[in-house]
Chains A and B, each alone.
Chain A
Amino acid sequence: MPFILRKIRKARWHGNDVLDWLLPDEIQADSLLDLSTKDNQLSIYIVEDDRSNLERIIAALAGNCDFISNVDYALVPAEVLSESGIEVADVKGETSDEQVNEAHRDLIHLSASKLLVLAKAISIRGERTRLTTKKVRKMIGRSIANGYIDKARLKLPANEISKLKLPQQSDGTTADHGNRINKGTSDREIGRDPEANQPGGSEE
């Protein structure tokens, strides 16, 4: 079962264990800030059921920012969309990784009640994960080294790109998209076991 991925801010999803005014099973209204729609549409990415493209999506999203920061994201089983009657449109993404762009979708014709169903799914059934800045930086570096990210299309400013630690090759040079490494390495890094498939977990 594939997943849908949406970038969030985890703190907006804290529940009534820390917010004493919030009733059990309710979500704070600020959660909806992470689901703000435009033209009743919401941008998401499809993560393969084995999560093999998860790290790549996160690296591409982070590379599309003004600066490198932590990335908080929510993963929800994609069946939520069919269960709640949410329509999906294939719309290419605009990151610097073409394959990630293919995994982009727009959720369309969203009503407020459908959005609330999605919010509740994220709150109750969703996995909400944080990757620290250091981990994200390494992921972008790996995506560049593996030739997934087109460095020239990164939105990050030059001073942020200079902070990336690109993996060293055996000849001592730095790998980037000009020196493609076999794409199979990505499978090795993120693993096949969903439990061991947390992005960033294999880098230290």
Chain B
Amino acid sequence: MQIIESKTRVRFVIPDHNISYEERLSIAAVAQIVRTGHAAYHAQPWITWSSKGQAEELLKSFSGGKPLLTTIQFSNQEITIFNTRFSLGPVIFFSDKTRILEEDLNTLRQSLENASEHDLVEVRFTPNTDHPIDARYFDWLSPAERLALNELLRTKSDLADLNENSVKQQFITLSELAKDEIFEDGVESNFVKGLGHIVKGAGAQSLATLFGLIECENRNDEIIAETLLWLGRLNDPSTHQERLHFLEKSLEHRSSRVRDAAATALSSMDDPKSAFALQQAIERELNPDLREDMRQVLAELESVH
């Protein structure tokens, strides 16, 4: 208890009753954590809720039946000793030789078949019970170990940057290839299929990169229009607001073709919140034909309850 009190600067009130065996084990474990930053836990199966994309990746990784190293990170872990609650700070768990059992893989496959893009999917992991789960508590590690762990996490952040650059590069390549493609309403172009693959692979956050590319770079208007139409059709509630805002902004684009696509995409999104932006676009619009098409969209949005 002295070690815990000196390290955490938390004062505990020792109770009058006898201290149970479990309490002693818990105190010993916490003492080891604040002394070394390390802990080992008995491995038991656990469940996570993952996005559809992540779950598909997990299915791919674990389908071979080979056990894999799995990490789980929490921003904080709290613990209570003698009715006093205190924080142990951020922690990362390493579970060596984790599998997803065949029956859980089958369940996962079934869940993925029935899941829509925005659903969370249950994934059940089974660790090797012969190998304990190792935990590292950042705040209590030696400086050298903390540095090493931070280095590992920094690499992860670099990977995110790498991911953004990769999305940019893929979009640019896709746009180049699409210059020879003739787009048609109701027909899924190779360009749109490619966009779908990029976002599926890089996650919904890659949309922000796409928005940036469309805004900053002087790209082909036909390709921008096709991208906007696709954004309007995407069935992803988690990005609804961002897409709506971007399409509303695109109503101000210099190209009538892009403005037309933005209005059509807003019609697909069917969100009456964009009625005001459309009304303003109608007032600005010089092309009578496009103005009429925008009015048609506005009338539909205003009839949405």
Chain B, interface residues (CB within 8 Å), range: 20 to 34
Tell yes or no: B57 within 8 A of A by CB.
Answer: no
Say yes or no: is A69 at the interface (Cβ < 8 Å to chain B).
yes
Decide: A17 and B286 in contact? CB cutoff 8 A: yes
Q: Given the known A-B contacts A7-B185, A11-B257, are A18 and B290 also in contact in the complex, defined by CB atoms under 8 Å?
A: yes
Known: A9-B185, A10-B260, A71-B186. Contact between A30 and B222, CB under 8 A?
A: yes
Residues of B within 8 A of A39 (CB): none
Residue in B188, B222, B289, B303 whose CB lies within 8 Å of A14: B289
* B278-297 to A contact mask, C-beta < 8 Å, 1/0: 00000000111110010011
Residue contact A10 to B183, C-beta cutoff 8 Å: no
8 Å CB contacts to A: which residues of B260-283? 260-261, 264, 267-268, 270
B296, closest chain A residue (CB): A132
Question: Among residues 216 to 230 in chain B, which have CB atoms less than 8 Å away from a CB atom of chain A?
Answer: 222, 225, 229
- Our pick among A19, A130, A204 for the contact of B293 (Cβ within 8 Å) is A130
Q: Which residues of B contact A92 (CB under 8 A)?
A: none
Give the number of A-B contacts (CB < 8 Å): 66
Write out the residue numbers on chain A whose beta carbons fall within 8 Å of the beta carbon of B300: 132, 134
Inter-subunit contact B256/A18 (CB<8 Å): yes
**Interface presence of B152 (CB below 8 A):** no
Q: Does B22 contact A (CB under 8 A)?
A: no
- Residues of A contacting B184 with CB < 8 Å? 7, 9
Judged by DSSP, the binding face of B is helix
- Say yes or no for A186: interface residue by CB 8 A criterion: no
A17-B287 in contact given A10-B293, A11-B260, A134-B267 (Cβ < 8 Å): yes
Complex Cα–Cα for A30 and B264 (A): 19
From A14, A33, A128, name the one whose CB has the most chain B CB atoms within 10 angstroms.
A14
A9 touches B183 (CB 8 A): yes
Q: Is A166 an interface residue (CB 8 A)?
A: no
Q: Which residues of A contact B296 (CB under 8 A)?
A: 130, 132
Q: In this assembly, does B182 line the interface, its C-beta being within 8 Å of a C-beta of chain A? A: yes
Is B197 part of the contact surface with A, judged by Cβ < 8 Å?
Answer: no
- Tell me, in angstroms, the Cα distance from A71 to B222 when the chains sit together: 17
A72 interfacial contact with B, CB 8 Å: yes
Q: Which of B186, B225, B288 contacts A69 (CB 8 A)?
A: B186
A36 to B297: give the CA distance in the assembly, Å.
29
A175 at interface, CB cutoff 8 A: no
Q: Is B69 an interface residue (CB 8 A)?
A: no
In the complex, chain A residues 1-56 whose Cβ is within 8 Å of any chain B Cβ:
7, 9-12, 14, 17-19, 30, 33, 36
Name the B residues within 8 Å of A14 (CB-CB): 256-257, 287, 289-290
0/1 string, B228-269, CB within 8 A of A gives 1: 010001000000000000000000000011001100100110
Please tell me if B187 contacts chain A, counting CB pairs below 8 Å. yes
> A130: shortest Cβ distance to chain B, in Å?
5
Q: Specify the chain A residue showing the minimal Cβ separation from B303.
A: A204
Of B188, B222, B289, chain A has the most CB atoms within 10 Å of the CB of B289
Q: Is A190 an interface residue (CB 8 A)?
A: no
**Residue in B182, B233, B256 whose beta carbon sits within 8 Å of that of A11 in the complex:** B256
* Among listed A60-68, A82-90, A141-149, interface-contacting one: A60-68
Q: How far is the CA of A133 from the CA of B296 in the complex (A)?
A: 11
Docked Cα-Cα span, A70 to B297, in Å, equals 11
- Please state if A133 and B183 are interface contacts (CB–CB under 8 Å): no
- Residue from the list A19, A128, A134 in contact with B256, Cβ < 8 A: A19
Q: Which residues of B contact A17 (CB under 8 A)?
A: 286-288
Are A11 and B261 neighbours in the complex by a CB distance under 8 Å? yes
Please name all residues of chain A whose beta carbon is closer than 8 Å to the beta carbon of B183 when the two chains form the complex: 9
Q: Which of B191-234 contact A (CB under 8 A)?
A: 222, 225, 229, 233
Contact A70-B264, Cβ < 8 Å, known A11-B256, A204-B303? yes
Selected A-B contacts with CB under 8 Å, 14 pairs:
A9-B185, A11-B261, A11-B290, A12-B257, A17-B286, A17-B287, A62-B186, A65-B187, A66-B187, A66-B188, A67-B186, A67-B233, A133-B268, A204-B303
